[in-house]
Structures are given as structure tokens and as C-alpha cells.
Structure 1
Amino acid sequence: MRFLATLFLLVLLLATVEASRRSRLLRKLYKKSTNYDTAPNNVETVWYKGMRLDHFTWGDTRTFDLRVMWNNTFYKEGGPIFFYTGNEGGLESFEKATGMMFDLAPMFNAAIIFAEHRFYGQTQPFGKDSYKNLANIGYLTSEQALADYAELLTELKRDNNRMGKTFSQDTPVISFGGSYGGMLSAWFRQKYPHLVKGAWAGSAPLIYMHDGGVDPGAFDNITSRTYVDRGCNRYILANAWNATIRLSSTDAGRQWLNNNNVFKLDPRTPIKTAADGWNLNSYLREAIEYMAMVDYPYPTGFLEPLPAWPVDAACGYMNATGTSFSDQDLVSAVANAANIYYNYNKNASFTYCIDYSICGDQGTGGLGDDQLGWPWQECSEIIMGMCARGGSNDVFWNECPDNIYDDLKQGCISIFGSMNWTTANWNIDAVKTLYGYDLSGSSNLILTQGHLDPWSGGGYTADQTNAARGIYVMEIPGSAHHLDLRTPNTCDPNTVTNARFQIVSILKCWVDKNCNTIPTITPLPSISIPNTECKDVIGGYPWGQTTGSAAAASALLSLIVAIYYALF
């Protein structure tokens, strides 16, 4: 009986750790700024006073203030509005991670507007009580957020409006967004086509929900592919996790884990049991997954300070050939790789705090008072079934239960049980009902996915492109999580540059009332990675690309296909 009780507690611990890990994954890129009150210097912060708390009833007249950041420097009459649909965090990080809006605005004479998502950043409808109870947090929904954005845009086109800036009624609006923001951007176009001319949604896992047709193991399958394709020894990654558990199950192994030359454990979270070993595994795994998401071709620092191509750097520690490794060798290899993520600057005092309940999430640094926001959305409407399968699917351990949604319920209870959360507070088919998975009724959507990005498995595929209705789906080789929306850089792969070039042609037609042609896209070129000094390219359009070369490539491809069918 004691053994069964211990086993039950271990299984419960693993379920709780995994639910916590999932809740952190999609909010990965947007840690709290050093100074949450300081806006970037290229935007002005304004407030929309009196935003309706509930857009779907006329009996509740409560309001709140919604934070907006904008830049009207480049705007000229007749130009469009570039509108960012804010997502799960403060606006500061989104503004910094979406440089394409600023790079293209002068060419389009566009205004730039970032609207903060309710319940995130400084937009707290109930102030410090926003996350106090279910009655308050229940107003945190994607549908209410989209209605906020619709009301804001409608107000901006009224004369003498409360924002002090009026745009003409026929000003076209293009929505932009990455990750969950990309989901919102696409849904914004779908739900409010009379307000939004088109959407550029980067790395949006729009169908990674119940009945969306995506395997729960897709995320970790792509993570594993990204590492193995870059030269990592699959055996090392796949076997390090059991090595950790074996070490944490013996006195000698625990002695090494608590005192080694590769990493230092925080004094608050020593390894005393196998359960602590699982905490270490989750901690190391988070670094591996995050580096796959942000595997950018130049150094970045918005998540953690990282080198260019961090997966390449990580594989430098995990590329030894063969299978003859000790448990210490395996754990050391993966921990050295994780150190690139957690401690690239080699701070001698840095320690692994592996229990999130004690230290919070060292992987993202936290989101301030809104840390319950995304977990709530995962426990109400945006419910993603995700798990590693191990084996041939990925390099992690098999954690997929018979019913993943039962597992998710336990995670929600562990987080919101004190607020009396029950399954009556969620709807696993909410996204399917509100927005749908079928693009047949949609138009004017640019949906980009990075081939390196684990989230790409939750998006649409290129064969769902339908230029006649303005649906363009691109999977971009060499691109990680919404790299295409970031500021152009000399080190960007040619595939990313060409994708942006083709997208600009689409945007030009969308905002031009006289455009009568249907934009088309051509296959992206074979990937080529520049070997040069990395620096931002401001105002560099067309970035060395030409329509003629793309058209020629398309014509050549069509000719080859025609010859093939003629001969065979």
C-alpha cells in the first residue's frame, strides 16, 4: 500500500509539473520588462478611457481603461493602419518583436497601433483584483479582447473622438500578430471583416485545439527534428531523462547531482528524491524547447541572452557519436546545452532553481501580476492538448495519458481550485465554435510558420493556400517563432527575406482600392544562410529581391511540371 501511495503521488506530481510547463510554453517570449511602465521610445502611450467590460450584454455598463501604444509619424492621409492585436503580456515586448510594422510603415504611409490585451500588462480591468476570483477573471476571453480592438478602431474613425486622432472611414486596417497574437489577428479578420482588410498572422497555432486534427505530440516532434537536423545525437537527448532519474534514485547519484562542475542547484531546491529528478528534467527540457522556438540567426536578448543559432550552440555539447555514455555523461551534455539558454553570459553565481512552486519560472522571468492570465485562458477556452510521446516521435519521455483533457483538468484544478474552478468553467470546443478550423469561409489571411518552430505543427499547411480568396500559407525554412515579423537583419536566411518580399506585394494590393489583380505567391528558394556580420536592415525593401526572379522561378517550375506530365 505504501508503494502504491508513493507511486500515486509521483504520478500526480508529474501531471502537475507537466500542466505547469504547458501553461508556460505559449507565453514564452514575453517576460516582464525591466521597467513595466516605460514604453519604447518609438511609440507614444495613450489610453482608451471607458472600454466596455462586457461587449455582449447591455445590462452591464462597467468600463475599464485599455492601454494603447502608437506611432503616427509615418501616417499620411490615405495610408493604412497597421494594427497589432496584443496578446498574453505587456505591450513592450510585442512592440520590440514586431519590427516589420515599423520597417514597412514609411513605405505604406501607415499609422502603427498596438492595443494591449485585457488582463495583461497594465490593462487590468479590476486593478489589483483582476485575478481575485472567477467572477473577475471570467472577463478574460479572446472574444472580449477582439471586441475591445473593434471598439477602439471604430472610435478612431469617429470625428472628435476620445483618442484625439481621427482616421477617415475608408482607412484600411491590416492586423499583425505573432503566436497567440497571430491567432487573434487571424480571428480579428474572420470576425470583423468590415473593420480589418487583411491579417498577417505569424506562427499562430490556430488548430492546436480539440478536433483540430493536430497530434498532441507535434510540438515535441518538431523540437526533436530541429535538434537532430542540426547535428545533435538523438541518443543523448532521448536517454538523458532516465539517466537523471537513475542518478536521483541513489545516494551516489544524488551526491553528484547536488555537487558537480556543470551546474549548481539552488539551495532551496536540492535533489533528495526521484521526484526532484523529474523537476530537474522539466527544467532542462524547458530550455531545450525554448531554444528551438527562438532559434534565430542572430543574438537576441528579449527572452534570455542567447547567441545566434542557439540550437547549433547547444548541439555542440550533444553531438558526440555512439551510445556508450555514463549517466553523468548524458546529464552533463544536456545540462551544458541548457546552460546556453539559462546562463549564456556565464554568471558564476547562477543556480538552477528547479521547483517552479518555490522560484517561479526562470525560463521566462515571469509576466508580473498577469501570470495567471494564460493559464486561465488554457482552462477556459483556448485548451491545447499537448504532450510528448517519446519513442520515434520525439526525444522526451512518454507523458501522453489515455485522455489528455482529463490530465489538463487536473492541471486547472491545481491552479484554480482555490477559486472553485470546475469543468463548467471551460469549453474544449470554444475555439472550434467561435472561430472554426475550416478556412473555406475566410479571406485575406497571410499565415506564416517557421520550419524550425515547434508551434508550426499547430498551424495550417501550405497546400491550404487559396489565392483566389486571399489565403496564403507559408512554411519558411530556416525560420523560428515568427522570425518573419521581426526587424529584417543581414543574417536572415534568404527564405525569410523572400517570404517578406512576397508578403509585401500582397499587402500593397490589399490597401490599394484600385488593385484588381489577385496576388499570388511562388515557392520559396532553396535555403541559403548568410555568413556576415549581423545587423538590422532598416528601410531595406526590396532587400535584393525582384519580382522577375520570383516569376521566372515559378515559370520554370511550371514548365518542369508540364514536361513531366507530358512524358509520363
Structure 2
Amino acid sequence: MRRVFTVLFLALFAVSAVEASRRSRLFQKFYKKPANYDAEVIPKNIEVVWYKNMRLDHFTWGDTRTFDLRIMWNNTFYQPGGPIFFYTGNEGAVSTFEVATGMMFDLAPMFNASIIFAEHRFYGATQPFGNQSYANLANVGYLTSEQALADYAELLTELKRENNQFGKTFHKDSQVISFGGSYGGMLSAWFRQKYPHIVKGAWAGSAPLIYMHDGGVDPGAFDNITSRTYVENGCNRFILANAWNAVLNLSSTDSGRAWLNNNTVFKLDPRTPIRNQTDGWNLNAYMREAIEYMAMVDYPYPTGFLEPLPGWPVTVACGFMNATGESFSDQDLVTAVANAANVYYNYNKNASFTWCIDFNICGDQGTGGLGDDALGWPWQECSEIIMAMCASGGANDVFWSECGDNIYDTLKQGCVSIFGSMNWTTANWNIDAVKTLYGYDLSGSSNLILTQGHLDPWSGGGYKVDQTNTARGIYVMEIPGSAHHLDLRQPNTCDPNTVVNARYQIQHFEDFFLQRKAFPAFPWCTIFKHPYLKNH
């Protein structure tokens, strides 16, 4: 998807496969399965249970095959009559969602709630066909959002049955609030929309619900917001916008290649030297991935679930890209952006770390260890959740123009490159699937909390605040100073006040959803005392 406009037509076909896998990795940012899956660390505050004999196909009675679905729950705070806080698991091992969604544990004591995380079919340990789950289209074809939502609906129904398979029955009137971030947020919102008799309300954080065909979102929104985040943090836009051509210039000459292969800024893996301009494109993709990931996880405190990062990593990265003016050599430009990329890839300054820039050879150093389910999200993007996103360059963003005449042709090439060996064709996808299955119009919806972080590139694919409809309990919130579903993470003393305030409001919205109390006009400007703010 991402190529410098001056050489787009020469490079598009050569790099389409690399780009297709890169854009899929953007959505797999948090939820990677450990490389040694047997050593997966299960958080101590949850218990692992399994739903036995989940239907493989909920939409036909002729297929009676089943599989086991993994669940993690915490009932420490639950009291009879309390609600169920239900996380709609997304594209990875369910244990990683528990780590990234600490807000559920913060709210549960206030509501006497049970906390349940359900693993998405075909991810983590929930493999319907075992190690053959991704062997062919006939198997992986059961990986769909609607099948996953039906799994969740059946699970919650079972939990309210007397003498159920878990040996723990929730009251039939126990209310359910669904939670989810990113794709999990999409599922959370769709769960409320498709199963309103099961789910009372939903909190969907950073969910790009309309970033699909006919959703009304500019394909360049992601990269526009990424660029804005860096410029607002003091980066010189010229440096970022021109570094990519600088790489291509250097990779086209003997002296330039010599410098790229032997400099003091980064050390290339011996398996992936710069030999030609195609390798230059690989270097661009590698550095760009770091820039985009840091925009997504621009959190105010150090984190380590992708790579060890400092607090506010974009600000740190901009320290290398804030020189003024436009008089830079190609080496100057590459040095600046490479130093910024090192904030992501090697912040701890490991002297032996090397840049392996060809993902086909080394895998993805940005989200290493995706495990056997690494094909999961690419499959979903090549079947029903087909996101129309690309950079435009120029005034829109600091990257290169890559949209071409038809973005779906480019996406199709990527799908063929990934699934062509399984005989994938365009008969296996539907670019209007989300529009048909769930729709983009909120007029028939209710009890939805849709949060977007102002810093988050994915926020461009979500609803805007003017879609708020308090009469139906629809609250669309753009949170200043917040990156990718920061609002769902464990509260931290470094969180911006805007995030603290948003969480406080959301707690009131959930009170309203559960009808624990009437919801008056919100006191936007008043002094208050509340356990949440007292504790955090």
C-alpha cells in the first residue's frame, strides 16, 4: 500500500506482497502469540476454562462438527445479580487482551461484576482444526466475525443455563456489557447490534468500524493522522516526507549502497543487505513500520508488549527529526529517520541488534512471534473485513503515494500473494461484507460507547462525535492525548487528565446502561468526588 509517488508505477507490483503483509501486521500490533507457545504466560488473576463442543458452523444444522473454545475469567468481584463484563476476543491469544484491558478490573468492583475474556476462534489456543486450521480454504473459511459473535452468544447463553458445563450458573437476568479494543472493539459494537437481547451495552475502544468500502472514510486517514501526530510533536515534516526518496537514491548507486550497508546508525542483518532499489523499498517499509507503530502506541508511560518503548515514544523519536530547514543530504535524511526507528526497534541500545529488513526471510521484527495464527488477520482482510487504506503523500501525509487507480486491485494482489497457494480468488472475498452484515448507520443502534484517541491513526476509521445520540445511549468520544485504546488499559498516574475524565464519564454511561440509576444531564462542569478519581 505504501510507495513513493515518484516511482509508484515502477515499484507497485514488486512491493504489493510486502505491503499487504505490512498492513495486516498493523492490526496485529498487540496480540501476538509467543514464539514458544507452550510457554505462554497466563496472568495470575484469571482462571482458564473451556467451552466444550462449540458448534463449528452456527448457521446450518447439517454440519454438527464442534471444537473447544478457550475462556479466561475472574469472578473475584462477582456477586449474585451483578453484571457480566465480557471481552470479545480478537486477533490473538486471549491472555494478551487481559493484559491490555485493565480498566475492566478497575470497574468490576464498583458493579460487582464477573470478568470474562473469550478467545476468538482460530486464534491463540482455540484452533478448530488443530494444526490444520490454516491448511486450506475449506478450514480457514470458518474464520469469520459472524461465526465468532455466534460463539460468544452461545457461550453467554450456556453460562445462564442451570447445570451448565461450567458448574457455575449466572442468573438469567444478569446483564452483559461487552468490551473490546481495535478489532475487538468492532466485535463489541457489532455484538450489541446483532444480539441486543444478550448484550445490554458495549464499550468499543479505537474500533475502525467504517474503514471499509463505502464507509465514507478517506483511504489516507490512517497516514494523515500518523503524520499529524509526529508534526504536532515537533518533527520536521520535510525530513519524514523526503527520507523515503533518499533511501531509494542511495540504494541506486554503489557509494550509496556502501553507506547503507555500513554506517553507524543501524546494522543490517547479513541476510538482508542492500543490493538494489528493491532492497531500498524493504528498508523503507521497515522504518515506516516503526514510525506507524509508535504513533499507535504513543502512551505516556513505558510499555513493552510490542517492543520496549519509553513513555511518549513519538516525542522521543522526534528528537532525532526536529532539525529545521530543508537543506539535508540523503544521508542526513536517512540518519534522522533511522535514529527515530531505533527508538522502536532498539531503544535499549543492544549492540548486537541487527535490522532484518526482509520479512520473508526474518519474519516481522516489529511483532515477532505471531505463531501459527499469523495468517488469521490476513485471511479476514482477504474475505470480509477488507479495509481500504493507503497513503497519498503530498499534503495528506509524510509517506509516498500508493493508492493507484484502484486500491482494491492492489489489495487483491496482496491476497493472491498470501493465499494463492490455497487457490484464493476474488470469489473468496466480499468488499461489502461489513456494510451488509452490520451496516454503517447507527440509527437502529443503542447503548454504545465508541471511543477514539486523538493520537491514534486508527481513529480515522471510526465514527465522529457528531454521531452521539444521548437519547439512544450512543456516545462517541474523541479523547485528546490518547493513543490506541489507552482508555481501556489499566489506569496509570501518568495518564492525561483527558483520559481520566473520559473513563469517569464512561462509568456513568455504564450505570445508565445497567439501569442502576437514572442518567441525568451530565454535569460537565462541576466538582465531584468519586471512588474512581480517589483511587487514580
TM (normalized to structure 1)? 0.90
Give the match for residue 244 of structure 1. Answer: 247
Give the match for residue 3 of structure 2. Answer: none
Give the match for residue 556 of structure 1. Answer: none
Shift of 1:19: 1.2
Decide whether the 8 Å contact of 1:33 with 1:93 is kept in 2: no
Shift of 1:401: 1.1
Equivalent residues, number: 526
Q: Aligned to 1:238, what secondary structure does the other structure show?
A: helix
The amino acid that maps onto 1:209 is: M
CA distance, structure 1, for counterparts of residue 157 and residue 11 of structure 2 = 53
**Are 2:434 and 1:431 equivalent residues in the alignment?**
yes
Shift of 1:346: 0.7
Q: Aligned to 1:542, what secondary structure does the other structure show?
A: helix
Give the match for residue 17 of structure 1. Answer: 18
What does the per-residue CA deviation read over 1:173-225, in whole Å, with 9 as the maximum and x for residues that have no partner? 00000000000000000000000000000000000000000010000000000
CA distance, structure 1, for counterparts of residue 8 and residue 111 of structure 2 = 61
Shift of 1:105: 0.8
Give the match for residue 535 of structure 1. Answer: none
**Are 2:325 and 1:322 equivalent residues in the alignment?**
yes
Give the match for residue 155 of structure 2. Answer: 152
Q: Aligned to 2:396, what secondary structure does the other structure show?
A: coil
Q: Aligned to 2:249, what secondary structure does the other structure show?
A: helix
CA distance, structure 2, for counterparts of residue 110 and residue 12 of structure 1 = 52
CA distance, structure 2, for counterparts of residue 412 and residue 518 of structure 1 = 50
Change (3 A) 1:139 1:279: same
CA distance, structure 1, for counterparts of residue 521 and residue 96 of structure 2 = 32
Q: Aligned to 1:306, what secondary structure does the other structure show?
A: coil
* Percent identical residues: 79
Decide whether the 8 Å contact of 2:265 with 2:339 is kept in 1: yes
TM (normalized to structure 2)? 0.96
Q: Aligned to 1:68, what secondary structure does the other structure show?
A: strand
User: Structure 1 regions of 5+ residues with no counterpart?
Assistant: 1-5, 526-538, 546-568
Change (3 A) 1:323 1:180: same
Shift of 1:38: 3.1
The amino acid that maps onto 1:26 is: F
Give the match for residue 227 of structure 2. Answer: 224
What does the per-residue CA deviation read over 1:481-533, in whole Å, with 9 as the maximum and x for residues that have no partner? 000000111111000000000000111122235x34356484999xxxxxxxx
Shift of 1:8: 7.7
Give the match for residue 530 of structure 1. Answer: none
Superposition pairs for residues 357-506 of structure 1, below 5 Å? Answer: 357-506=360-509
Change (3 A) 1:524 1:328: farther
Question: Which of the residues 535, 541, 545 maps onto 2:532?
Answer: 541
What does the per-residue CA deviation read over 1:88-126, in whole Å, with 9 as the maximum and x for residues that have no partner? 000121110000001111111110000000000000000
**Are 2:289 and 1:281 equivalent residues in the alignment?**
no
Shift of 1:12: 1.4
Give the match for residue 347 of structure 2. Answer: 344
CA distance, structure 1, for counterparts of residue 526 and residue 119 of structure 2 = 34
What does the per-residue CA deviation read over 1:418-442, in whole Å, with 9 as the maximum and x for residues that have no partner? 0000000000000000000000000
Give the match for residue 512 of structure 1. Answer: 515
Change (3 A) 1:150 1:7: closer
Q: Aligned to 2:533, what secondary structure does the other structure show?
A: coil
Shift of 1:7: 9.6
CA distance, structure 1, for counterparts of residue 66 and residue 520 of structure 2 = 42
Decide whether the 8 Å contact of 1:226 with 1:452 is kept in 2: yes
Give the match for residue 4 of structure 2. Answer: none
**Are 2:224 and 1:233 equivalent residues in the alignment?**
no
CA distance, structure 2, for counterparts of residue 187 and residue 435 of structure 1 = 7
The amino acid that maps onto 1:122 is: A
**Are 2:167 and 1:164 equivalent residues in the alignment?**
yes
CA distance, structure 2, for counterparts of residue 11 and residue 524 of structure 1 = 55
Shift of 1:11: 2.8
Question: Which of the residues 99, 102, 109 maps onto 1:99?
Answer: 102
What does the per-residue CA deviation read over 1:342-392, in whole Å, with 9 as the maximum and x for residues that have no partner? 011111111110001111111111321000000000000000011110000
What does the per-residue CA deviation read over 1:385-432, in whole Å, with 9 as the maximum and x for residues that have no partner? 111100000000111111000110000000000000000000000000
CA distance, structure 2, for counterparts of residue 84 and residue 393 of structure 1 = 35
The amino acid that maps onto 1:541 is: Y
CA distance, structure 2, for counterparts of residue 220 and residue 309 of structure 1 = 19
CA distance, structure 2, for counterparts of residue 523 and residue 459 of structure 1 = 27
Q: Aligned to 2:434, what secondary structure does the other structure show?
A: helix
Decide whether the 8 Å contact of 1:499 with 1:524 is kept in 2: no
The amino acid that maps onto 2:78 is: Y
Give the match for residue 297 of structure 2. Answer: 294
Give the match for residue 31 of structure 1. Answer: 32
CA distance, structure 2, for counterparts of residue 284 and residue 322 of structure 1 = 22
What does the per-residue CA deviation read over 1:130-174, in whole Å, with 9 as the maximum and x for residues that have no partner? 000000000000000000000000000000001111000100000
CA distance, structure 2, for counterparts of residue 294 and residue 257 of structure 1 = 28
Decide whether the 8 Å contact of 1:467 with 1:520 is kept in 2: no
User: Structure 2 regions of 5+ residues with no counterpart?
Assistant: 1-6
Change (3 A) 1:275 1:464: same
CA distance, structure 2, for counterparts of residue 275 and residue 212 of structure 1 = 34
CA distance, structure 2, for counterparts of residue 463 and residue 327 of structure 1 = 44
CA distance, structure 1, for counterparts of residue 520 and residue 48 of structure 2 = 37
Decide whether the 8 Å contact of 2:17 with 2:418 is kept in 1: no
Give the match for residue 563 of structure 1. Answer: none
CA distance, structure 1, for counterparts of residue 111 and residue 399 of structure 2 = 46
Decide whether the 8 Å contact of 1:89 with 1:120 is kept in 2: yes
Decide whether the 8 Å contact of 1:452 with 1:479 is kept in 2: yes
Q: Aligned to 2:452, what secondary structure does the other structure show?
A: strand
Give the match for residue 531 of structure 1. Answer: none
Give the match for residue 307 of structure 1. Answer: 310
Q: Aligned to 2:269, what secondary structure does the other structure show?
A: coil
The amino acid that maps onto 1:234 is: R
Q: Aligned to 1:372, what secondary structure does the other structure show?
A: helix
Change (3 A) 1:59 1:128: same
**Are 2:136 and 1:138 equivalent residues in the alignment?**
no
Q: Aligned to 1:84, what secondary structure does the other structure show?
A: strand
What does the per-residue CA deviation read over 1:20-59, in whole Å, with 9 as the maximum and x for residues that have no partner? 2111111111222366443111100000000000000000
CA distance, structure 2, for counterparts of residue 481 and residue 410 of structure 1 = 29
Change (3 A) 1:521 1:15: farther
Q: Aligned to 1:56, what secondary structure does the other structure show?
A: coil
